[in-house]
Structure 1
Amino acid sequence: MSNESTYEGGCFCGAVQFTVSGEPAGMGYCHCDSCRSWSAGPVNAFTLWQPEAVRITQGADNIGTYNKTQNSYRKWCKTCGGHLFTEHPGMGLTDVYAASIPQFPYEPGVHVHYEHTRLRMKDGLPKMKDVPKEMGGSGITIAE
């Protein structure tokens, strides 16, 4: 028997349901142009998971995919348009939007692509110019 925590999530209308299990590889806020445009908001709250930790439990045939670049495969519900997650093949991780897993204890640790921000957030968390070095970025932090 596993001690892993499992959290349920889904789209806006409930046609697509999924679970995430275990611990995320990271959590934070993304301020990049793509995330802002996709979310129609000034910032995206992300949780990054190993792909095997994300399991579709209902409505797999109702998931649409769009990739503007090979870096991100964005997924949404074909019925309501509700955003679900983004697969990042280059990083080997899946970004499950924090808002789509309501009971998950979201604890952000970093801001990425903060040089593009449209919403200054003075929360004491590190602000990365792009992404951490271990994720292929410069690792440069910038001022709040």
Structure 2
Amino acid sequence: MTHTHTGACFCGAVEIEVSGAPEAMGYCHCESCRSWSAGPVNAFTLWKPENVKVTKGKSFLATFIKTPTSERQFCTKCGGHVMTGHPTFGLTDVYAATIPSVEFKPGVHVNYAETVLPMRDGLPKLKDFPAELGGSGIAVAE
């Protein structure tokens, strides 16, 4: 049985659905994610793109591309952040807060070398990204 979860932007004009299980969950500490999320860290859930569907308000979904690795999508009515496509990784990050019925079970911290909020939780801390996603795969201390 495939599990399906729904979520929405801040105003509800854009709704999404994710199905199956996420490929990974964790925290990103990079400057771009911190700036975009207006927080000291970003909680992510990564999905195969075919498991993420916009079910309402696609016309209100806009994309901002700062780098080729991140296609950030947001609602044009409220500015609420919805998801980020990562074409070079073959994954879509649906922000953990966007899909509240998904039980968030983080497994890793990425870009921890850039952290402004040290988190001593015993999870692996990577300098940048896992090697299989093009990063160094180098672990750093908590």
Q: 2:131, 2:72 → 1: CA distance?
A: 23
CA distance in 2, matches of 1:37, 1:18: 23
Q: 2:29 aligns with which of 28, 31, 50?
A: 31
Does 1:12 find its partner at 2:10?
Answer: yes
Structure 2: runs of 5+ lacking an equivalent: none
Query: Deviations along 1:3-62, whole A, 9 cap, x unmatched?
Result: 110000110000000100001111100000100010010000000000000011100000
Amino acid at match of 1:16: V
Give the corresponding residue for 1:84.
82
Q: CA deviation at 1:72?
A: 0.7
Task: Kindly indicate whether residue 123 of structure 2 is the aligned counterpart of residue 140 of structure 1.
Answer: no
Does 1:71 pair with 2:69?
yes
State how far apart, in whole Å, the 1-side matches of 2:119 and 2:87 are: 29
Three-state SS of the structure 1 residue aligned to 2:65 is: strand
Look up the match of 1:124. Answer: 122
* Identity level (%): 61
Distance 2:69 2:26 in 1: 18
Aligned-partner Cα distance in 1 for 2:132–2:126:
12
Structure 1 length-normalised TM: 0.97
* Structure 1 alignment gaps of length 5 or more: none
Shift of 1:69: 1.2
Superposed CA deviations along residues 51-110 of structure 1, whole A, max 9, x for unmatched, are 000011100000011001111110000000000000010001000000000111110000
- Count residues in correspondence: 142
Q: Which amino acid in structure 2 is aligned with residue 59 of structure 1?
A: G
TM-score by length of 2: 0.99
Structure 2: distance between partners of 1:91 and 1:51: 10
Counterpart of 1:47? Answer: 45
